[in-house]
């Protein structure tokens, strides 16, 4: 905290100042619940794709250290395409379901 206050690390202090100013400006215009909800949504919008990317890269990358109990071979081009199509189908289905729920086509389903 003292490093931020005394600007010993300027880029971190500037970022902290910017975030606090945006937060205070948002709180002056909107309710605290709305600001917290949008901040949580922004964090999720950043962390979920990064986590999915990390999982996908780990699944497609062959392991660096092979143990005798677990020997896996890298996916062939055909298997990669099949997994990509399957992932695309699941993504589209999830997006359609979320769109239907968030746009409240049916209130009982959304609840």
Per-residue pLDDT tens digits for 33-82: 888 888 888 888 888 888 888 888 888 887 666 555 556 678 888 989 99
Token readout for 70 is: 């677990």
CA atoms within 13 A on the CB side of 8: 6
- Grade residue 21 by pLDDT with cuts at 50, 70 and 90: very high
Token readout for 77 is: 């081009």
Residue 22 domain-assigned (yes or no):
yes
Inform me whether the pLDDT recorded for 6 exceeds 70. yes
Domain encompassing residue 23: 2-61+76-106
Please tell me the predicted confidence (pLDDT) of residue 1: 73
Number of domains in the chain: 1
Alpha carbon distances (Å) from 63 to 1, 28, 74, 82, 87: 41, 51, 9, 21, 21
Whole-model pTM over 0.95: no
Helices (H), 1-111: 2-5, 10-29, 32-60, 77-102, 107-110
- Grade residue 109 by pLDDT with cuts at 50, 70 and 90: low
Residue 69 domain-assigned (yes or no):
no
Residue 46 domain-assigned (yes or no):
yes
97 within 8 A of 109, measured Cβ to Cβ: no
Residue 111 domain-assigned (yes or no):
no
């Amino acid at each position: 905290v003292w490093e931020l206050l005394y600007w010993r690390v300027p880029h971190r202090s500037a970022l902290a100042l910017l975030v606090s100013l945006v937060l205070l400006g948002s709180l002056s215009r909107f309710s605290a619940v709305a600001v917290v909800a949008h901040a949580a949504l922004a964090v999720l919008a950043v962390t979920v794709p990064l986590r999915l990317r990390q999982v996908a890269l780990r699944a497609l990358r062959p392991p660096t250290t092979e143990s005798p109990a677990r020997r896996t071979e890298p996916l062939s081009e055909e298997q990669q395409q099949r997994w990509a199509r399957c992932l695309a189908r699941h993504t589209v289905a999830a997006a359609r379901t979320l769109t239907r729920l968030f746009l409240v086509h049916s209130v009982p389903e959304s609840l």
